[in-house]
Structure 1
Amino acid sequence: MFLGENALKNLVEFMIDAELTLSIAPHHAEKVRLRPIVELVQATLAPEGQSAVARKTFEITSSVHFLSALFEVVSEFENEPASSRKAITACLFAYHLREWIWKEHRSLIEKALGLKDQEAFYKYVNNCFPDFPLIREVCLGTKHFETNHNQVLNTGLSGGDFSPDDFSSADFYVGDLIVETGIGNKNALEMLKSVLRFYEKLFSVLGI
């Protein structure tokens, strides 16, 4: 039997309120919430305000899923810190997660942060995480071949340590990807790990 979206939402609300009593041992019982089932059903629902989009993004249907995917791609980049492909992929996820959060959780953002429009929320993100415009430039430069932003002067690979005349453990260091700006270089991996911490804190503030 196929349940429509409204029926599934009603089922979720019922299960959140309901409790199942399980006999754990003689003369003892423990109430266990139906959280695993609730989460399973909720995962099938497109987030509020994004249903049409979410149906086009495979199994990533909420900002929570998007954050989880961001963790995965940053972890992959960390395992291969000289990979431009993995760095760009992580930047794309980091940039677009901001949009998902706004579209899915506008009411929470207004309630918790007092921000009533998208521009105000984006300014808040930039203020809390000043390197976000750099991620945006890398992302849009990749997606649209844009060159009309000037905070990022260049991107590249810092030099490794290998020398045929001097062998040491440092020789296994192959270099890091960096983002060059007018006020210094940014390590791409550290920047992306920092944006992960920012998003974790934001999710906590919003109660997501």
Structure 2
Amino acid sequence: MAGNLFGKMAADTLGLSDIGKIISPKDFDKVDGDDYIMNEDGEKIYFVIKSKSDEYVFTNRGLLHVDGTSAVSKKRVVKRHDFYYEKVHSVTLETAGTIDLDIEIKFSFGNNSFSIDVDKKQLEQLKDLYKALVEIGRIQGKNSTSIEDGMNGLKMANEAISRSSLQGNASEIVKELTNFNFNWMQNIRNEYNNKDFGYVFEKYINN
């Protein structure tokens, strides 16, 4: 145990560990991820965790992961995870024990899982991110239920129509029904599939 603790402390002292630091908002423009933000579309940074090899940039639109191969390599791969396409789930926060140097937040965007070690001195700030991600996941879950209910309602209506005797031009009826179905599905997705969760970050993130 003593050997492991000494090794971990030495790695952190020498700058070889990969414990992330939460970046102050005044320094958001200095992180690599800032270069890839869609400012033209109203994207805004709310939270950044930076380690020796990676950056995790949380915006109103999702997560921008600047993935480094190692602390000494300049090679980076930029990966985007949008709230519109991927649901947040399995959010957990692990606090530090007496001898731990770091705390850990875990979460998933769709099928992509993340585990980020953060300096334990920044626990209070990390709690804010934890709460924001949990709330976003809850909202996405409720939205998915609403979309599913809306689609099921449309399906039942179409089945009822198919059993009815309709009068008029068959091709025109089919065309109108197709357009109605398309518009219904588009409207329900637009209403219940959020692209922007800036309001959630503004509620929980105390910068």
TM-score with structure 2 setting the length: 0.30
Q: Which has the higher strand share?
A: 2
Comparing both structures, which one devotes a greater share of its residues to helix?
Answer: 1
TM-score norm. by structure 1 comes to 0.30
